[in-house]
């Protein structure tokens, strides 16, 4: 076997390993979302399309969990009457009146939360605005 073929194989293996390590470092699946880490804008998406940008806060708002801002642009994509959010054992939930969980999102990574809907249309929250 030629030395160049062996070298190319080793370089490919190293690059693949580095890519996997970068993905593993961002993998936070199944862990709660810390309020200080989650604060800021998150783009709500469905079917590969950005719908709106919601803002998660780190400050408590009475019995409604932590601060949440949902713009009218979200329309019917999210349940109406959302007033806050709270970390859960494997991600977070958006809360309705009285702090009742309304929609749950599972944490897939530091920058991606996913809600599997019974309609079959999943919702994703991606960290940052649509142009981040």
On whether the CB atoms of residues 123 and 46 are closer than 8 A, the answer is yes
CATH architecture of 35-127: Beta Barrel (2.40)
Has this prediction a pTM greater than 0.85?
no
Q: Where are the beta strands (DSSP E) in 61-131?
A: 66-69, 84-88, 91-95, 101-109, 112-115, 123-127
- Residue range 76-109, pLDDT digits in tens: 999 999 999 999 988 999 999 888 999 999 999 8
- Ranges under pLDDT 70 in the chain: 1-30, 131-132
Contacts of 92 (CB under 8 A, 6+ apart): 32, 33, 38, 56, 85, 86, 104, 105, 107, 113
SS3 80: coil
Q: Where are the domains of the chain?
A: 1-29, 35-127
């Amino acid at each position: 076997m030629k030395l160049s073929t062996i070298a190319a194989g080793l370089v490919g293996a190293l690059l693949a390993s580095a890519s996997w390590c970068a993905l593993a470092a961002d993998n936070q699946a199944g862990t709660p979302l810390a309020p200080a880490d989650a604060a800021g804008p998150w783009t709500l998406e469905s079917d590969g399309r950005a719908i709106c940008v919601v803002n998660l806060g780190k400050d408590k708002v009475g019995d409604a969990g932590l601060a949440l801002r949902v713009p009218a642009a979200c329309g019917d994509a999210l349940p109406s009457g959302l007033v806050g959010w709270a970390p859960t054992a494997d991600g977070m939930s958006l809360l309705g009146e009285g702090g009742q969980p309304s929609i749950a999102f599972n944490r897939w990574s530091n920058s991606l939360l996913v809600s599997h809907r019974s309609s079959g249309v999943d919702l994703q929250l991606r960290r940052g605005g649509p142009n981040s």
